[in-house]
């Protein structure tokens, strides 16, 4: 399905990003993924040919620019961008520090801007491409204790819709995937009591696996979704019904 295509997946060394990177490579794409610190985990995923890791901090405008240049120089083109890198610093607003706010907004929202800013130039010259922003139902319905995270994810939704209007005329699509609770390091750190409470709120009665999210992401960046842009697809087990 993706033979000859080149993808960048930010935050691709683990969790949802890792599953998306593996799924794209399985379907024939060349995949470049970013990671910040855990080189050992990145090396487990990278194979030096179809999946290549790049140590880069997407919150840094210059590093994002260098990354895009390296990928373009290595593979000759960039067809797919998945803005997946994200963090949480959950606290009630009354106890949230400025750093808690800045770290989350810088990674989740500014990181998406930084990468997209440089990738879009490549896609505009190609007159083709697709961008997928991994957001959250927290950005749609809001979550107590996640004012920073909800703000960043709601920002990604606005970013998606505005950019989709800007670049549709050059055959570049932009969509967002709004996820519910997925089995990752973030949800794995939840205490058992809170975890069971969350599961009890999900109509399907379970937390999703990253591979399930990857399959939806594949569709959204594939030719099958070529007439879809500016859309936010909720995959949350019915949590936000």
Which residues have a catalytic role annotated? 149
CA distance 51 to 55: 13
Residue 80 buriedness (CB in 10 A; 0-12 / 13-18 / 19+):
buried
* 13-to-4, 23, 55, 71, 87 alpha-carbon distances in Å: 22, 13, 10, 17, 14
Q: List, in sequence order, the alpha helices (H) in 57-209.
A: 61-75, 98-105, 111-126, 138-141, 147-167, 185-188, 192-201
- Under DSSP, is residue 47 helix (H, G, I), strand (E, B) or coil? coil
CA distance 100 to 78: 33
């Amino acid at each position: 399905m993706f033979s000859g295509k080149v993808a960048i997946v930010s935050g691709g060394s683990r969790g949802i990003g890792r599953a998306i990177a593996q799924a794209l490579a399985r379907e024939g794409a060349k995949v470049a993924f970013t990671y910040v610190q855990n080189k050992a985990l990145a090396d487990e995923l990278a194979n030096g040919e179809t999946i290549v890791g790049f140590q880069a901090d997407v919150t840094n405008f210059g590093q994002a620019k260098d990354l895009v240049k390296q990928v373009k120089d290595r593979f000759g083109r960039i067809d797919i961008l998945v803005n997946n890198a994200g963090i949480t610093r959950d606290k009630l607003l009354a106890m949230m520090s400025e750093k808690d706010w800045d770290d989350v907004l810088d990674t989740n929202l500014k990181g998406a801007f930084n990468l997209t800013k440089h990738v879009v130039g490549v896609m505009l010259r190609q007159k083709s491409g697709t961008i997928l922003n991994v957001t959250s139902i927290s950005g749609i319905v809001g979550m107590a204790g996640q004012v920073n995270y909800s703000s960043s994810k709601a920002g990604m939704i606005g970013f998606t819709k505005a950019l989709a209007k800007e670049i549709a005329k050059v055959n570049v699509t932009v969509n967002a995937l709004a996820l519910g609770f997925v089995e990752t390091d973030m949800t794995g750190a939840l205490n058992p009591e809170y975890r069971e409470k969350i599961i009890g709120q999900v109509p399907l009665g379970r937390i999703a696996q990253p591979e399930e999210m990857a399959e939806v992401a594949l569709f959204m960046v594939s030719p099958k979704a070529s007439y879809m842009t500016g859309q936010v697809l909720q995959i949350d087990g019915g949590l936000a019904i």
